[in-house]
Structure 1
Amino acid sequence: MQRLGIQTVRTSRSLLGSRLYTTAPAQEQVVPAAFKVQDHKDFDERVMNSKVPVIVDFFATWCNPCRMLTPRIETVVAEKQGKILLAKVDIDEHTDLALDYHVGSVPVLIAMKDGKVLERIVGLQDTDKLRQFVNKYAE
């Protein structure tokens, strides 16, 4: 288990057993590794102009494989501690972006750097394959 700047505090043992609480130190500011794209302008600012590589996750809320992929890719990206970001694009809300990137089915993950598409993978992936994909582009 990685620490990621989070402290674990164990409370005293009670009748229900010990309890674990996680707290972030007050002086640290947590930068989210994953964010949901709000509109085309947001996509341009946070993905196209990003200083670090970005994995763009094209998904739909009704898509079961998308729901299974989400926690996997979020975990893998979080492990990289800001060396790569995850932009989530709902294809029903942002049809124009889905068309721009030729997304015909979901889920689709696209690795981008400096506004350029580097690679895409389609469909549900296991965690090991996701980790290999992300590791190629995380700086």
Structure 2
Amino acid sequence: MPRKSFSELIDSPGMPVLVDFFATWCGPCKTMAPILEQVAAQHQGKLRIIKIDVDKNPAVAQQYRVQSIPTLVLFSKGQPVWRQAGVVPAAQLSQVLQPFIG
């Protein structure tokens, strides 16, 4: 199966895509991981979450001006509609997602 490009991954019709820009060595990124798992479980079938390792994908991180990690970027219809750097509590993240997942 061919690998999808980043633009193919974020262009998900009818489903917003939350991108977690992270690095394996990043402590706050490790804190964010279980929060993302919780949010994914809560919104299963309504939201896609993908993780982008900034060390392995520096061009994508640069394209979206990721200057600190973790950075979350929410894409709706392929366009960034929200972004936040740092750890985001699950309740706050769900509140941000609500208008996009219905």
TM-score normalised according to structure 2 size = 0.88
How far does the alpha carbon of each residue in 1:74-132 deviate from its partner, in whole angstroms, 9 at most, with x for none? Answer: 21122112111101100000000000000000001111011111010110122211221
Could you tell me how far apart the structure 1 residues matched to 2:19 and 2:79 are? 12
Cα RMSD of the aligned pairs, angstroms, is: 1.4
Could you tell me how far apart the structure 2 residues matched to 1:70 and 1:137 are? 21
Q: Give 3-state SS (helix, strand or coil) of 2:80's partner.
A: strand
Could you tell me how far apart the structure 1 residues matched to 2:77 and 2:89 are? 27
2:51 aligns with: 88
Q: Give 3-state SS (helix, strand or coil) of 1:112's partner.
A: strand
* Structure with greater Cα Rg: 1
Unaligned runs of 5+ in 1: 1-38
One-letter code aligned to 1:59: F
Aligned residues: 99
Once the 2 structures are TM-superposed, how far is the Cα of residue 136 of structure 1 from its aligned partner? 2.9
Once the 2 structures are TM-superposed, how far is the Cα of residue 134 of structure 1 from its aligned partner? 2.2
One-letter code aligned to 1:76: V
Unaligned runs of 5+ in 2: none
2:101 aligns with: 138
- Following superposition, which runs of at least 4 residues in structure 1 exceed 4 angstroms of deviation? none
1:119 aligns with: 82
2:21 aligns with: 58
Q: Which has the higher helix share?
A: 2
**Would the aligned equivalents of 1:91 and 1:98 in 2 still touch at CA under 8 Å?**
yes
Instruction: Name which structure has the greater RCO, CA cutoff 8 Å, separation 6+.
Output: 2
TM-score normalised according to structure 1 size = 0.66
